[in-house]
Amino acid sequence: MVYVKYVKRSVKSTLENPSFIDENPLCVCSEEIASIKKELISENDDLKLKQKTSSLYLQITQEAYRIVVKITVPHHYPEEQIRVELKESNFPDLFTKFFCGQSLEISRQCIQPPLKRKPKDPPFEPKPALWPIIRFLIKEVKRFPHEKCPVCKERCLPSDPKEVTEDPNNPKFVERVYCGHIYHYDCLLSYLKTPPFQGGKKCPNCGNRIYHDRWKLTPNMAEARWAHQEARHRELEEYDPQIAMWMFPVLLVKWHCISTCSSCFSCDVTLVLLVSLTYSLFVTVNKYLDNIKNC
Ligand SMILES: [Zn+2]
Ligand SMILES: [Zn+2]
């Protein structure tokens, strides 16, 4: 509300001199910019004004990570929506998309009334979006580089941005879940697959339910899947392919001997051949079962 007053005053003072507005379009948010510089921008960050293009270049740095965004303030600010463009970033793609997407969402919420309004709500008025957008960007960019994975308690993003992996199946790929906390891909996966499941899996950091596009399992489905996997592991552990490997050819040849020749040389040769063949067959089966076990 304070900024609405500031903006209205700025617009009023410049209406008498339209050319001044053309040459200094950022004057519509000059007091907002002054507060941002004073309260939000730290010595590692930078905010440059470009009056010619009615835009601001914001650079935010945290450790070795940084982003640069261009924020364009429209002529009819704050009634018209602010534009945010990413100019540079060494964060993983997932993060830069979140920074830009959420900034646009904040600017949209400042100019559009909410879909579900309560009858007692005052009439909607567009609000200046510059301050909330910059406050959001600074808070999030400063938080992520040193944030620790709630499962293994190690930092999620490597200290050197060049070591960041963009492969979503890499164990060290960093996932951001609905509550906003970040996890290593492998840590999140093993946490989601381990009981208890009732009530849904909760984020160990904030206690909120974990939602993610890649894992859409109800607690019952997760429980059933886990029980099935455990049963399969037990079966695999109890099953000894060595016994079957030796029993099968011996029984086969013995059955042949009893029913026909009651022991002969060809039976012995057949037994050796069958044993070696069965041995290779069961080695292959064993390897396959091991692979399943490790999945
Ligand atoms: Zn981890
Ligand atoms: Zn959380």
Domains of the chain: 2-142 (3.10.110.10), 161-235 (3.30.40), 239-294 (no CATH)
Q: How confident is the model at residue 128 (pLDDT cuts 50, 70, 90)?
A: very high
- What is the whole-number distance in angstroms between the Cα of residue 201 and the centre of ligand 1? 16
Give the pLDDT score at 145: 96
What does the pLDDT average to over 143-172? 95
What does the pLDDT average to over 141-164? 96
Nearest 5 degrees, angle CA 97-CA 107-CA 55? 85
Q: What is the pLDDT of residues 212-245, one digit of tens each?
A: 777 766 667 777 777 777 777 776 666 555 656 6
Which parts of 40-117 fold into alpha helices (H)?
93-111
Which residues sit with Cβ closer than 5 angstroms to ligand 2, an ion?
179, 181, 203, 205-206
143, 82, 86, 88: which is closest to 109 by C-alpha? 82
Q: What is the value of pTM for the model shown?
A: 0.69
Beta bridge partners of 261: none
Q: Is 18 exposed, middle or buried (0-12, 13-18, 19+ CB in 10 A)?
A: exposed
Residue 130 tokens, joined: 């510059």
- What is the whole-number distance in angstroms between the Cα of residue 193 and the centre of ligand 1? 15
Give the pLDDT score at 6: 47
In this structure, which ligand is nearest to the CA of 181?
2
- What is the whole-number distance in angstroms between the Cα of residue 86 and the centre of ligand 1? 28
Is residue 108 over pLDDT 70? yes
Is residue 152 over pLDDT 70? yes
Give the pLDDT score at 200: 81
Contact partners, residue 285, CB within 8 Å, separation at least 6 = 241
- What is the whole-number distance in angstroms between the Cα of residue 204 and the centre of ligand 2? 7
Strand ranges (DSSP E) for 28-115?
46-50, 55-62, 65-72, 83-89
Give the pLDDT score at 104: 93
Is residue 15 over pLDDT 60? no
What does the pLDDT average to over 107-118? 88
Give the pLDDT score at 257: 67
Question: Which tops the pLDDT comparison, 104 or 249?
Answer: 104
Question: Which tops the pLDDT comparison, 90 or 242?
Answer: 90
- What is the whole-number distance in angstroms between the Cα of residue 174 and the centre of ligand 2? 14
**Angle between helical axes of 93-111 and 130-143 (0-180°, round to 10):** 160
- What is the whole-number distance in angstroms between the Cα of residue 99 and the centre of ligand 1? 22
Question: Which tops the pLDDT comparison, 224 or 6?
Answer: 224
Question: Which tops the pLDDT comparison, 19 or 237?
Answer: 19
- What is the whole-number distance in angstroms between the Cα of residue 177 and the centre of ligand 2? 7
Give the pLDDT score at 3: 47
- What is the whole-number distance in angstroms between the Cα of residue 185 and the centre of ligand 1? 8
Give the pLDDT score at 245: 62
